[in-house]
Amino acid sequence: MDIMSSLGDGFLIALTWQNLGLAVLGCFLGTIMGALPGLGPSNGVAILIPLAFTLGLGATPSLILLTSVYYGAMYGGRISSILLGIPGDEPAMMTVLDGHPMAKAGRAGEALSLSGVASFVGAFLATWGLIFLAPQLVKFALLFGPAEYFALFALAFATLGGVSSTNQAKSAFAAMLGLGLAVVGVDTQTGVPRLTFGEVHLYDGLDFLVAIVGLFALSEVFIFLEHRHGEADADSKKIEVGRLTPSWAMLKYCTPTMLRTSVLGFVAGVLPGAGASLGSFISYSMEKKLVDKKGTFGTGDPRGVAAPEAGNNAAAGGALVPMLSLGVPGSGTTAVLLAVLLALNITPGPLLFQNNPDVVWGLIAALFIANIMLLLMNIPMVGLFTRVLMIPPRILMPIVAMVSFVGIYGISGSSFDLLVMIAFGVGGWVLRKLDVPLVPIILGTLLGNTMENNLRRAVTISNGDYMTLIDSPLSIGLWTVAIVGFILPIFVGKLVKGRMRARRDAEGSTSD
């Protein structure tokens, strides 16, 4: 048991009073940062880097502090998603879909604690995955070339029907809108600026955080302004917090979901080109296709809360695999952690596990500690969080507006981003009036760019031959799942019968 003894050494390093104190601090700050709209894990970590340096912390304590913030923010993102319907950061977006309806139905406490448990399960399993599978998973990640990534993203979009419980056409429209917005910026494959109108702020494309905060938070404020004396106030009076902890029956009911989505999220996290947002997205839509027989997803199904939370926290753990073993960050936050490692004179990469075992195992032990601490911290705090719902909207909404503006300006320091955010807010308000779901827009913006780049990389490499997209068994498999997942619910197998009878039996069970 070589691994266990290394892990034991890691715990010896991590379990000092100073490190435990840093973990508590990091978890707490991370949770808050995750919950505030605008501040996500990557900004949270970046903000605390100077603190780590100022305190003169060594490599392991710094990493403990910063990974606690990372995991804390992944936990915290769900709080505002559930309570306000405003995602605290990108990966928490899917939690809005069922978490907010649950809160509206007076089950906010349950939703919060359930998502806390789901986060724990996801992160816990992912940390074990990191320990046992890191070397093998690197080989798996290497199976993914541009063509395979494109197929993976296509799969994500094919299952988009799972995202919205309302009109499918509106959902598709929203996704297209998002894809369109993703085109803005300098095209990396040609170096040509697209739809930037000579505005240098748009050269890097639209910032997802700005889009999310605008679409969700500001449009909420606009809706409130519109109904100033009417429904909004009345609504809040009806809201009850309900019980604070989920029943055992509910936990049991959600356990298979949590386990499945943890695995799925972890795998998505391991792929450097995918990341946590894709992890929670795929977790949710696959889970919906798999278990949502009665169409309760999107209306406050507890499994719809557990799925994305387990998925995105597992993806956060998974994203550490390519960062540590390849030196390739799988998400924005791991890019920041990578920079911290470099600043501490530790070179992540294939040799990290051999050259700096104390850092790696100390970090892994810290992940376990942070995770358990977050669970312990979050469950009792549910009662506190739910108080947010008691705040009357006339006080809450100005606070939301203020936090949005301060948060976005604090990150980018650019007033242009504030204008973009307001534009998104107005757009979000109009779309809400038209009953167009907002989540697919963000998904389109978030994933569209990477998807397009991978398509064009694949086609360029093959000198314009589109057959390259279905050239490997892996991409054929992904496409099959995507097509089956897309067509089966619509035509119940009529069209696919001849073409893929053999595959459907194998895949049908996972995509129906």
Partner 1 sequence: MAFKHLRTALAVAGLALTASGASAQFAPEQPECIAPANPGGGWDFTCRQVGKTMQDIGLISKTMQVVNLAGGGGGVAYAEVVNKRNDSSDLIVAASTATATRLAQGAYPGNTMDQVRWLASIGADYGVIAVAADSDIETLPELLDMIKNDPRSVSVAGGSAVGGWDHLKVLIAANAYGVEDVRTVKYIAFDGGGEAVTQLLAGSVQAFTGDLSEAKGFVDSGDIKVIAVLAPERLEGEFAAFPTAKEQGVDAIGANWRGFYAPAGMTDEAYDAWVSMIGELYASPEWKEIMAANGLAPLNLQGAEFETFVSDSVTQIQDISREIGIIK
Contact positions toward partner 1, by CB under 8 A? Answer: 42-43, 45-46, 49-50, 53-54, 141-146, 186-191, 198, 200-204, 272-273, 322, 326-329, 332, 335-336, 338-339, 342-343, 345, 347-351, 411-414, 450, 453, 457, 460-461, 463
Q: Closer to partner 1 at the Cβ: 24 or 47? A: 47
Residue 148 has φ and ψ, to the nearest 5°, of -70, -40
Minimum gap (Å) between residue 457 Cβ and partner 1: 5
Q: Give Cα separations from 277 to 11, 282, 428, 435, 445 (angstroms).
A: 30, 9, 20, 24, 12
Q: Closer to partner 1 at the Cβ: 299 or 472? A: 472
Minimum gap (Å) between residue 328 Cβ and partner 1: 4
Minimum gap (Å) between residue 462 Cβ and partner 1: 9
Minimum gap (Å) between residue 427 Cβ and partner 1: 21
**E strands, 165-299, where?**
185-187, 192-194
Q: Closer to partner 1 at the Cβ: 102 or 147? A: 147
Q: Closer to partner 1 at the Cβ: 67 or 171? A: 67
Q: Closer to partner 1 at the Cβ: 47 or 372? A: 47
Q: Give Cα separations from 197 to 19, 273, 328 (angstroms).
A: 50, 29, 33
Give the integer Cα–Cα distance in Å for 379 and 113. Answer: 6
Minimum gap (Å) between residue 342 Cβ and partner 1: 6
CB-based burial label for 76 (10 Å; 0-12, 13-18, 19+): buried
Give the integer Cα–Cα distance in Å for 151 and 157. Answer: 10
Helix, strand, coil in percent for the chain, rounding step 5: 80, 0, 20
CA nearest 369: which of 71, 30, 40? 71
Q: Closer to partner 1 at the Cβ: 143 or 390? A: 143
Minimum gap (Å) between residue 190 Cβ and partner 1: 5
Q: Closer to partner 1 at the Cβ: 256 or 350? A: 350
Minimum gap (Å) between residue 50 Cβ and partner 1: 6
Q: Which amino acid is at 228?
A: R
Q: Closer to partner 1 at the Cβ: 54 or 509? A: 54
Q: Closer to partner 1 at the Cβ: 173 or 353? A: 353
Minimum gap (Å) between residue 19 Cβ and partner 1: 21
DSSP 8-class letter at 392: -
* HEC letters along 62-121: HHHHHHHHHHHHHHHHHHHHHHHCCCCCHHHHHHHHHHHHHHHCCCHHHHHHHHHHHHHH
To the nearest 10 degrees (0 to 180), the angle between helices 108-141 and 59-84 is 130
Q: Closer to partner 1 at the Cβ: 41 or 308? A: 41
Provide the total of helices (H) and of strands (E) in the chain, helices listed first.
24, 2
Q: Give Cα separations from 499 to 340, 480, 484 (angstroms).
A: 51, 11, 11
Give the integer Cα–Cα distance in Å for 192 and 194. Answer: 6
Minimum gap (Å) between residue 445 Cβ and partner 1: 16
Q: Closer to partner 1 at the Cβ: 247 or 415? A: 415
DSSP 8-class letter at 437: -
Minimum gap (Å) between residue 147 Cβ and partner 1: 8
Q: How many CB atoms lie within 10 A of CB 394?
A: 13
Q: Closer to partner 1 at the Cβ: 51 or 244? A: 51
Minimum gap (Å) between residue 62 Cβ and partner 1: 11
CA nearest 138: which of 276, 322, 318, 3? 322
Bridge-partner residues for 192, per DSSP? 187
Minimum gap (Å) between residue 407 Cβ and partner 1: 14
Give the integer Cα–Cα distance in Å for 92 and 250. Answer: 21
- 69 close to 111: Cβ distance less than 8 angstroms: no
For CA atoms 397, 437, 279, 462, the dihedral sign is negative
